[in-house]
Amino acid sequence: MRARYILVDGLPISFEEDQTIMEAAMAAAIFIPHLCHHPEFKPQGSCKLCTVKANGRYVSACTMPAKDGMEVENNSPDLNDKRRTMLQMLFVEGNHFCPSCEQSGNCMLQALAYELEMLTPHFNQFYPDRPLDASHPEVLLDFNRCILCELCVRASRDVDGKNVFALSGRGIGKHLIVNAESGRLADTAFSLADKAAHVCPVGVILEKRRGFAIPIGRRRYDLEPIGMQVEGQARRRSGEL
């Protein structure tokens, strides 16, 4: 069978049947910024950071199927400027104070801000007042940092089979909730062993009694920028490294 290719910023990369642009790019060690994408879950395109231009049209790379001969624009000043604006909006909508955050250095939102050279939040801070949930014996929930990526929702529903989390409200009032009559995590079947306990890209779901176990400066994104990590993972899978 003839190999099929898409062009990403002029570079031809092959892809397999039913792969999305995101999947084809990551397999070829090409980084497309994203927050809501997870290789184990069905894509839903909620964060829009992976927006690329495919044959001149803006699309979400995580949901758009790759098609033979498709020309994809990814790493361009125009797209990266739009991504920076989306990041700025995410930072001001929640309470993301990196110097005091337990996830600093392990946070994808922070790592992408560095990757895309976001120097200022630009917009006025919303300072939402969302409650913490420390009711569970193993996990603390800090709803103030939620970016509505729905990774915990999908993991709990599709992998754990528990439906612990959901989104409620609309527009600026949209927020993460716990599916219990009390609204407390302790009143669910949630466990630290659940997939949902380990997919949050920011600092909403925190394991208790583990704070700052790895010193700042030695954490995942302290050691290597997020884009280089994705590229390195792809090369390791292909045997290049």
The SS3 assignment for 153 reads helix
Nearest to 166 by CA among 185, 153, 184: 153
Measure the N-to-C terminal CA separation of the chain; round to a whole number of Å: 28
Cα separation, 121 vs 47, whole angstroms: 17
pLDDT band at 239 (very low <50, low <70, confident <90, very high): low
For residue 232, is pLDDT > 70?
no
Cα separation, 37 vs 11, whole angstroms: 23
Tokens, residue 61: 């790379």
CATH class name, domain 5-82+225-238: alpha beta
User: CB neighbours (10 Å) of residue 187?
Assistant: 14
Q: Estimate to the nearest angstrom the gap between the alpha carbon of 4 and the chain centroid.
A: 28
User: CB neighbours (10 Å) of residue 237?
Assistant: 12
Q: What is the mean pLDDT of residues 77-106?
A: 95
- Could you read off the pLDDT of 158-212 as tens digits, one per residue? 999 999 999 999 988 899 999 999 999 999 999 999 999 999 999 999 999 988 8
Q: What is the pLDDT of residue 126?
A: 92
Q: Which fold has domain 97-223?
A: Alpha-Beta Plaits (3.30.70)
In the chain, the amino acid numbered 177 is I
- Could you read off the pLDDT of 148-160 as tens digits, one per residue? 999 999 999 999 9
- The ranges assigned to domains in the chain are 5-82+225-238, 97-223
Q: What is the mean pLDDT of residues 42-46?
A: 90
